[in-house]
Structure 1
Amino acid sequence: MTVRSKEENEVAKTFEDFKYLTFDVVGTLIDFESGLVGCLKTIGAEAGVDTDGETALAFYRQARYMPDVGLFPDDLVRVYLQIAPKLGLPAERRFGEQLRDSARTWRGFPDSAEAMARLAKRYHLIAMTNAQRWAFECFSKELGNPFYASFTADDTGTEKPDPAFFEKVFVFIEKQGGTRDDILHVAQSQYHDIGISRKLGLTNCWIERRHAQKGYGGTIEPDNFTTPDFHFTSMAALADAVEQTKAA
């Protein structure tokens, strides 16, 4: 665990200082990389093609983060048609739709649901996802519906790291009498969450899901690495730390 230094003109906070935990969902709580790769491997097996997971994620990342893309996961149809030839897969729309629809069955990381249930006993949990509402409802169900409130790309009209996404959440919390000082933002993406949350004055917690793997997988690499306020490699470790703080 890491805590921001006082040299950065911040007073170090403890877990008792927060009322709200805001969460990135896809990649932090839902294992979208395994979901994507699993579906592409299934399509590949039917076509007699051996699909390498990390190669597929690299092509996905390039295709997903182009200008003027659609909302996620609907955009996976376009993404598939772009990356299929590079992977030797059949470039047919029906397979793109299969990739899109696979989002309904993506699983949470093994520790996600249990950790969220523990955290929900102490905080209001708020989802902040770049996914569309239809997909988020599937993800929330997979996680045990732990959220007090949720914000999707459909609700905000934008995607993180756009500050406007965060502003929608700030307005919601302010209407409840809270401030951004009451928020701990929890996420795995340096690009979408950790960097921008720091710029907006939030305390953040980086869940480094790919700590045992090289590179950024399906998530775009940030221009600059942001040292988080708190740093764990799993949601279970975060929940443990919270409970230890409360018990102390």
Structure 2
Amino acid sequence: MSEKRWVTFDCFGTLVDWRHGIATGIELVAPAKGRQLLDVYNRHEPEVQRDHPGMRYSDVLTEALKRTSAEARLDLVEDDFRVLAAGIPFWPVFPDTREALRDLQASGWNLALLTNCDRVIIGETQRRLQVQFDAIVTAEDSGAYKPARNHFEYFEKSLGVTRDNWVHVAQSYFHDMVPASELNITRVWINRLNEGGDPSIAHAVRPDLSDLAATVDQVHRKFNG
């Protein structure tokens, strides 16, 4: 079994500004509607992922936008629905992301992504992150989308990771904190949106990635001896 210490991350929403990316993409085909329809889209995307666990994320984006458009009665043409998949390589990285990742690497942690996207998209996104990850698990690899447990179980089994050397860091309560809690993985909730939810589900709650290396070290020592 591996004795390496691992920090796993969700990507979109935690490291990359998912909400900005979705809203800006919608704006391109439905001006002045992006922010207005963001929550509508956010409701449809997990439904598509649940209905089609084997669908590539680029197609999830397209289908979720189609459902959003139908609900909002937007007058879009077929090509418009690909706007989110086309734009995702350019979604902005949060300003605190790169420094936090580099600090963790300097502290001796191995980094991995457990992401609800496909291999092509994460490959394109890595150039913006500018940090080398030691492992990546996509929905395409695991065969399902979080909050299903597949990502976590695939990562654990394929790399021989022990849970006493593993901390998971993510923004989404629904997609990440809940399944990580069910699996008893040490976890840090990056509550960027000041969402509701029981903060005791996480071993630490932070508003952003500042001082993340110190937080990860602290929870690892406290909860894993």
TM-score by length of 1: 0.77
Aligned to 1:6: none
Q: Distance in 1 between matches of 2:218 and 2:149?
A: 33
Q: How many residues align?
A: 212
Distance 1:135-1:240 versus aligned 2 partners, 3 A rule: same
RMSD (Å), alpha carbons: 2.5
* Runs of at least 5 residues in structure 2 that lack an aligned partner in the other structure: 220-225
Report the Cα offset of residue 18 of structure 1.
8.0
Write 1 or 2 for the structure with the bigger share of helix: 2
- How many angstroms apart in 2 are the aligned matches of 1:241 and 1:18? 18
Larger Rg: 1
Asked if 1:60 is matched to 2:34, the reply is no
Is contact 1:188-1:208 (8 Å) kept?
yes
Partner residue in 2 for 1:21: 7
Partner of 2:179: 196
Q: Aligned partners of 1:157, 1:243: CA distance in 2, in Å? A: 31
Partners of 2:99 and 2:199 in 1: CA distance: 29
Distance 2:164 2:74 in 1: 48
Which residue number in structure 2 is paired with residue 132 of structure 1?
A: 118
How far apart, in 2, do the equivalents of 1:179 and 1:242 lie? 16
The one of 230, 234, 245 equivalent to 2:204 is 230
Q: Secondary structure at the match of 2:25?
A: helix
Q: 1:125 offset after TM fit, Å?
A: 0.3
Equivalent in the alignment of 1:37: 23
Relative to structure 1, the CA distance from residue 244 to residue 167 in structure 2 (aligned partners, 3 Å threshold; closer, same or farther) is closer
Question: Percent identity over the alignment?
Answer: 26
In structure 2, what is the equivalent of residue 51 of structure 1?
33
Q: Mean Cα displacement is larger for which, 59-68 or 133-142?
A: 59-68
CA contact (8 A) 1:208 1:232 kept: yes
- Cα gap change, 1:236 to 1:64, in 2 (>3 Å): same
**Structure 1 residue 88: deviation in Å?**
5.3
Which has the higher mean CA deviation after the structures are superposed, 29-38 or 236-245? 236-245
After superposition, give the CA deviation of every residue in 1:47-82 in whole Å (9 maximum; x if it has no partner): xxx2151x3122102221225243323212122222
- Corresponding residue number in structure 2 for 1:148: 134
Identify if the C-alpha distance between structure 1 residues 210 and 37 changes in structure 2 by more than 3 Å, giving closer, same or farther.
Answer: same
Match of 2:86 among 97, 101, 113: 101
Partner residue, 1:92: 77
Instruction: Compute the TM-score of the two structures, normalised by the length of structure 2.
Output: 0.84
Distance 1:18 1:235, change over 3 A: farther
